Amino acid sequence: MKQRTSLHWIWLSISVIAIDQLAKYLIVQHIEYNSIFRLLPFLNFTLEYNTGAAYGFLGEFGPLASLFFITTAVVISLLLCVWLYRLPATNRWLGISLALILGGAIGNLIDRIAYGFVIDYVHFHVGGWSFAIFNFADAAITVGALMLIIDIFRGKKSENTTR
């Protein structure tokens, strides 16, 4: 009997992509570039265009960086699909983490291909401190990566307890 894979988590990736693209569409339609829409004392929507990686990293390299990020996102997305395919369905935590990363990567990939940059809009700040502006796809990637790190440490803990 064939073992079920974790590919069924693709629905989560598709949901992340849909929410991400819808949010970006609404932000672009209703907020002017670089303007601030205050939601809470510590949270704004601020429309920014990010030519770099997560949180603006390497954005100063222009079109060359964009080509690099597109290629990297495609390769990582394909590898994540293969990983999900090979991952047993019983490993829910890891399947969810990979699906979140995949959905976020594809959400930002769509922007890079369509516009040459990623649309960012979530801006946390407190007093004089300000966190980099990001989007829903970035948040999904971050949560998925944290889950992946937790999974790695959980695996090491169980390996250590079996010895």
| Catalytic machinery residues | 120, 138
- Compute how many other C-beta atoms are within 10 angstroms of the C-beta atom of residue 109: 20
Distance from C-alpha of 131 to C-alpha of 30, rounded to nearest angstrom: 22
Cβ burial, residue 162 (10 Å; 0-12/13-18/19+): exposed
From start to end of 22-142, where are the E strands?
Answer: 36-40, 43-50, 118-126, 129-130
Task: Output the six-digit token pair for 41.
Answer: 């004392």
Which amino acid belongs to residue 79? L
Which DSSP letter does residue 43 get? E
- Distance in angstroms between the alpha carbons of the first and the last residue of the chain: 32
Which strands make up the sheet holding 43-50, listed edge to edge? 36-40, 43-50, 118-126, 129-130
| Inter-residue contact 108 to 17 (CB < 8 Å) | no
